[in-house]
Amino acid sequence: MTFIRATFAVIAKDIAGEMRSRELLSAMLVFALLVILIFNFALELDIKTRSTVTAGVLWVTFAFAGSLGLNRSMAMEKDRGCMDGLLLAPVDRSAIYFGKMFGNLLFMSIVEAIVLPLYSILYNTNLFHAGFLAVVFLGSLGYVAVGTLLATMTVQTRTRDVLLPILLFPLAIPVLIAAVKASMGFLQGIEIESIRPWLNLLIVYDTVFIAVAFMVFDFVVEE
């Protein structure tokens, strides 16, 4: 089986499993909607002030919902014994990583696609800006790239629910800061020259961590 076919096979397996159980998306979506609603009632701000906190609120929501999804995704593989079967398959181990990463990115993107329109309605804010949506994709890609690797490491531990956020959030700080700054820039109509450094940081972060995960995933799953 080729590398690309193996990657898509893992993605298809995750989608089929989620279609049967509906555990992952439902948990992520309920959590994200609760966070959005809590912020909506807690931050009773005027329209101008709300526009300055939009990026922060959204990325807090995406980060926490994403960590929940990453944890559940790998925990289900471990609890059902699927990970052992994947590791025994005659394919490159990195294909498993990319399959899990793109599967997690797909689920996170579905949650974001539901949260963004709801946020727009509750906060009366237009979020459908091409630049902003590109930042959401780049930020989510970097987050799941490092998160999938760390979730694979922590799934073997008894404290995986606590350990993953402890390891993930410090490493994800650069991508979250860059995503918030770039998102705020696009939403407030700041010139692209001021946003470009944050976009460059997102691209570099995504590239570096995907490359690192590609190189070390074999060693992680062996442990």
- String of DSSP letters for 165-207: HHHHHHHHHHHHHHHHHHHHHHHTT--HHHHHHHHHHHHHHHH
CB atoms within 10 A of CB 177: 13
How many residues can be counted in the chain? 223
Name residues of the chain where pLDDT drops below 70. 1, 43-51, 79-87, 89, 222-223
Range of the structural domain that residue 34 is part of: 3-222
pLDDT digits (tens, 9 = 90+) for 174-209: 999 999 999 998 888 888 888 999 999 999 999 999
pLDDT digits (tens, 9 = 90+) for 77-104: 776 666 666 667 677 778 888 988 999 9
Please provide the distance, in angstroms rounded to a whole number, between the alpha carbons at the two ends of the chain.
25
pLDDT at 208: 93
- Helix 160-187 with 192-222: angle, nearest 10 deg: 160
Query: Number of structural domains, the chain?
Result: 1
pLDDT at 53: 80
pLDDT at 73: 79
What value does the CA radius of gyration of the chain take, rounded to a whole number of Å? 18
- With vertex at residue 165, the alpha carbon angle to CA 29 and CA 24, rounded to the nearest 5 degrees, is 30
The residue assigned the tokens 């992952």 is 24
